[in-house]
Structure 1
Amino acid sequence: MARVCEVTGKKPMSGNNVSHANNKTKRRFLPNLQRRKFWVESQSRWINLRLSNAALRTIDKNGIDSVIAKMRSEGKSV
């Protein structure tokens, strides 16, 4: 399964580990993904999402219904 947030679309980034001697080796920065289950009152059902921590904060601020509506308008299936 891909490490991608279903709401924000955050993906792993690449960068460098830099040692004290300034040697550089490649590394990956992974998003902080969480599995969460939400009760959607308007649809009377549970939905499971794999979200970043930033997406959880967005849901807390705007509500799950508005986030789902925005995802559907972008063409994502929920």
Structure 2
Amino acid sequence: MSKICQVTGKRPVTGNNVSHANNKTRRRFVPNLHYKRFWVASENHFVRLRVSAKGIRIIDKKGIEAVLADLSSAGLKL
């Protein structure tokens, strides 16, 4: 499974580790992803999403039903 947040679309990006001596080595910055179950009261069941910490905050702010409506209009099948 790819490391992409289903709510925000965050994905790994590349960059450099930079030492004190300014030596640079390539690395990946990966998002803080978690599998989390959200209760959808209108449909009376849980929905399992792979979301970043920012995605969880967005769901807390807007509500799971509004976020699911946005995802379904974007074409993501849940």
Give the TM bin, normalised by the shorter chain: over 0.9
What RMSD over aligned residues (CA atoms) do the two structures have, in Å? 0.6
Deviation sequence 1:53-75 (CA, Å, 0-9, x none): 01100000010000000000000
Counterparts of 1:15-54 in structure 2, within 5 Å, are 15-54=15-54
How far off its partner does 1:21 sit?
Answer: 1.2
Runs of 4+ in 1 over 4 A off after TM superposition: none
Task: State percent identity of aligned pairs.
Answer: 53
State the partner residue of 1:11: 11
How far off its partner does 1:6 sit?
Answer: 0.7
Gaps of 5+ in 2: none
Q: Which amino acid aligns with 1:44?
A: N
How far off its partner does 1:44 sit?
Answer: 1.1
DSSP-derived class of the 2:50 partner: strand
Distance 2:69 2:25 in 1: 42
